[in-house]
Amino acid sequence: MFLTLGKQQNVAVDTTEDAGFFTPEKLKQYNAVVFLNTTGDVLDSVQQIAFQNYIHNGGGYVGIHSATDTEYDWPWYNKLVGAYFDSHPAPQHAHYDVIDKNFPATKNLPDTMNRFEEIYNFKSLQKDILTFLIKVDETSYTGGNMNNFHPNTWYHKFDGGRAFYTEFGHHDETYSDPVFQQIVWKGLEWAMKK
């Protein structure tokens, strides 16, 4: 998806699963870094410092789906991504409410959407520093535990840079969906701004 959208938008896109790429010299080539379904500890302490400095110097970050299931022992990352994964029920259909249309990623979305997804319950949600864009209606599915304020997509400026996250993105077919592509690409464009 990113390679295709990058070509369409005339934006250079690189992909890697090599954490050794997280050096000051390599990171400074990019306006934003995407954590696409990362899980667990992906960066060592030296790479973490390089990434923190990258954000501090105006770099952007986009987290997709299990990016919140990443780096549980790194408090700075919790603030960057905005929350940590806690649990999820079986994938199912649910209603989603678009609660902020003043952001490019949600500007042209309908007020409500019905989508099939693996829906995360979150812990360590950084409510005081995030701007929420989409939330899931916990009455529309089984297994929510966030007391009916259950955010799904958010953004914020953080530590000199910009961070955008969406919980959508578990299933392969999602990545060919124009609505998902709009959410992620517009979030990425915002994160890339210096």
Where in the sequence is the domain holding 33, given as residue range(s)?
2-192
Distance (Å, rounded) from C-alpha 62 to C-alpha 146?
23
CATH number of the CATH domain containing 122: 3.40.50.880
* Beta strands at 60-64 and 131-136: parallel, antiparallel or unpaired: unpaired
pLDDT at 121: 98
Distance (Å, rounded) from C-alpha 170 to C-alpha 117?
7
* Beta strands at 60-64 and 161-166: parallel, antiparallel or unpaired: parallel
The pLDDT of residue 103 is above 80: yes
Q: Report residue 175: phi and psi, to 5°.
A: -75, -10
> Two tokens at 51?
């990434």
Question: What's the predicted TM-score (pTM) here?
Answer: 0.97
Distances (CA, A) of 80 to 113, 126, 173, 185, 190: 27, 9, 27, 19, 15
Distance (Å, rounded) from C-alpha 143 to C-alpha 120?
9
Confidence of residue 21 (pLDDT cuts 50, 70, 90): very high
Confidence of residue 148 (pLDDT cuts 50, 70, 90): confident
Domains in the chain: how many in total? 1
Tell me 70's DSSP state: B
pLDDT at 74: 98
pLDDT at 50: 98
